[in-house]
Structure 1
Amino acid sequence: MNNLSSLGVKTPPYPETTLEALRKIAGFKPAILIFTAIMFAMIVSQVITRELPINVYNTYAAAAQKLANHMYPYPREAVEFHAGYKYSTLFGVLFYPIQALPFELGRFLWILINFSVFMLGLGTFLVHVFKNKNHTLAALLDKPYKLAILLILIFNEMSVSIKIGQANSLICGMMLLGLAFYAQGRNFSAGIILALASNFKIFPLALALLLLWDFRQAYWKSFLLGYIAALLLPALVLGWSWNMEMLMAWHKTLFLDFNTESKLSLMTFLEANFNFNGSLVYRGFVVLNILLLCVGYRFSFSASRSGGLRFLYPLTALFILLFNHRSEIELFVLVSPVYALMFLAILEKINEGRNATQEITFLAIGYFLITHLRTDLMPSVVGALLFHDKSQVLGSLILYLYFARQAWKKPVASESAQEQR
């Protein structure tokens, strides 16, 4: 039964299962299957034909083997951090069967898992966000060229993460899936998925903890129990003492590296371009943004409000990119769903006969600064001259301010209020 009903909130019928949501995504146009197959083939071909400078798959595989053999997988010194293993013990245990396969097969399976979970999460999320009978996802993407544009917008950031073997696409897909389930009232499933994502890497906690503001018991119980279980389950394979030792090592790793020279947070952008060293002022600014995000969620764009997801995911994702001192290029897969939301909002306005100039302008600016400057279509010297090769940060900041203004300008109505009208 829909958990929102117990709160007195009437909700329209949502996809009850992931499979039904997938049918909605794939059923409206055969082109979706063709285009996604092409995208996947392009990623695989890049992995096969190009010698990539980074291969995180090998890092995961080595860490999984070390964990199984009771060897220390985490970097012991800050200088080892960049190329070292930084994920949870559970992630390493779950990766062990993949790395046990022949290398090419294991790497292919890992690419397939990342791609599939990301696309499933994105599709399920968008099906829910655009559920109005006049503006369903199928209605907005009624022409193959519209679908092609959307997939082109999300492709670059997603492919950068997947082709080097990073797990960020997998985790982003889990965040989107958990958020969609939460908005549908499937609180237990949402809590478990977001607990796993937050265990694999710490940044999904920003979204998972924000959802606690709705005080849904089923969600916070499943999230808390799921997170504790994710910490303790590896003991079944590794033994209690070795698992506890690895948990302590992982915790230490999370606070090991504070070298921001090659990172893409707002702090590094200010340091590189304006010689800003006010760490105390900056920390105060981060705390202020955390408070604004929490207050904004409670009163403007919570997941229980119709239309709230249009602001909730972008603001949370962009917050993670801007204020995480370890932000890097591979983490910008988080911005791909933001592009998708903006593009679909443009189509929605056009279908309604409204002016979409503002949305088009900010999507173009964000995509140019975050994505286009790093593609082969733009001479590298141009990207290097613009903001010390940290234009992604400026693009993220512009989109963050844009969504914050939009969310506060006209707070979205709650589901219950809309039903009363």
Structure 2
Amino acid sequence: MSVRRQKLYSKEISACSIFGAMSRAGERFTGERVIQAMAGMHHRGNGLGGGFAAYGIYPEFRDYYAFHLMFTGDSRAQREAKRRAEEFLFRSFDVVHDEEIPHSDVCVRDPPLLWRYFLSPSKHGEDVHLSDDEYVVRKVIHVNSAIDNAYIFSSGKNMGCFKGVGYPEEIGRYFMLERLYRGYLWTAHGRFPTNSQAWWGGAHPFGLLDTTVVHNGEISSYGTNRWYLEMRGYKCTLHTDTEVLAYAADLLMRRHDLPLELVAKILAPPVWDSIDRMDAAERRLLTALRRVYAPLLMNGPFAVIVAQSGRMIGLTDRIRLRPLTVATRGDMFYISSEEASVRRISPTLDSVWSPRGGEPVVCELEGMFERGLEHEIAVTA
């Protein structure tokens, strides 16, 4: 193959790996199997980003928001960022415990200072009229946009994000996820950056409160999506297209309280020709959604896993330009870029299928329901 031809094929734009594992019974397990599953998709990344989200890991602090912060720059910049951030946090919250996030001596690239805080809102003045979640969101946005070198990258209750620059198996071992944490729901990401820089804050997952997103693909509508979200108070500060997915999920599911089925139709709506062929009631609904939320249409190829306390959601773009596989075994529910990564940790599966484009697949603690189950592919043991 010529040098010119090698260069043409040197960039694998369909890469990035996503994975999710959830116990529908709420049984907690370590991150070991999730790390192993991600290691099986090593070829889909390039070592410039990896990360995990885990739910149910802080039962002793379950009633408090768990803030994970990174302080970047040289040691002097880190100290100053930590001082300023703590001055703000201790003024805005009742902090019951804080400590450095434990990590091992696994070699990773330029790690920042990583700290966690368990806290509850301490509202004053006009803030007393805000819900606790809205208060927290506003404070997170303030820190991330106004305090240099300080980033809150996890802010939910009884859950946490762990991410950085490296392969996901390296990041998992760095945070000792196989030893220190047990959760009932885990998601993970291995990054192959396309249009954004590789740095610790830009690794996946992205989250706000207990909603986290891992994403394979590219959001070409990022500019329009960002404009719409920033008009509604969000600040996109992490230099990547995926950040808009996390904030869009918060806006639609928390602030606007829309059901998941409608959220999917906003992010990955049917084309107009399909809407025109629907019955009158459905046509009116889909037309209204496309008009009201037009700037939140996510254009481009994508497959995402959205996790929240008690549930995990898989969704692709409407024509399914990025792969997504769903599988079950007993009470375990898996979503992955590749079936092989699931079988790496669970060789025998009860069922496995590929969901339709634009239709969400959801697993919940209280039970499971799937969209498009008529297309399920049976698997022999």
Q: The TM-score by the shorter chain falls in which range?
A: under 0.3
Normalised by the length of structure 2, the TM-score is: 0.27
More strand by share: 2
The structure in which a higher percent of residues are helix is 1
Higher relative contact order structure (alpha carbons within 8 Å, sequence separation ≥ 6) = 2
